[in-house]
Amino acid sequence: MTAKVVRRAWTVGWLGAAVLGVANGTVRNLVYQPRLDELAAHQLSTCTLIVLLTLYLVWLDRRWPLPSTATAVRTGAGWAVATLAFEFGLGLGVQHKALSALLADYDITSGRVWVLVPLWMLIGPALIRRGRRHRPDSTRPADVDAASAQR
């Protein structure tokens, strides 16, 4: 499998992560929020999304293994930027929310933990790749860079 195919698969794969995020938000609004206060629902849905994203990242990495740490870091950076662009674009442009309302979800001092989601998008691919590389049953892709092969 070529690096170009892997990059394309992971780029398109971000759409799956976006679908997970929207579905998770729907579950929060329909299930958690009626039973919990808003902050607890926010925190629970942030945690469930990170778990879902982790499972998705593992699946993607098994299907299209990231060939190098550098590729994983670039992929994570792209996913984080796309996530923030999607969230702020949707919030400002479609839902007509105030910027201050969107930024409030990133205020950890108020118990808002949403910042963990784009952070996980940023570092998740590299950590999942690293975890795969350290499992005894893992198979390494043929096009691993020379620096990684010497570790």
CB atoms within 10 A of CB 124: 25
Asked if residue 145 belongs to a domain, the reply is: no
Asked if residue 118 belongs to a domain, the reply is: yes
1: confidence class by pLDDT, cuts 50, 70, 90? confident
Asked if residue 64 belongs to a domain, the reply is: yes
pLDDT digits (tens, 9 = 90+) for 34-44: 999 999 999 99
Asked if residue 99 belongs to a domain, the reply is: yes
Asked if residue 29 belongs to a domain, the reply is: yes
How many structural domains is the chain composed of?
Answer: 1
Give the residue numbers spanning the domain of 122. Answer: 3-133
With beta carbons less than 8 A apart as the criterion, state whether 40 and 116 touch.
no
Max CA-CA distance within the chain?
Answer: 53
Question: Does 22 have pLDDT greater than 70?
Answer: yes
33: confidence class by pLDDT, cuts 50, 70, 90? very high
pLDDT digits (tens, 9 = 90+) for 70-128: 999 999 999 999 999 999 999 999 999 999 999 999 999 999 999 999 999 999 999 99
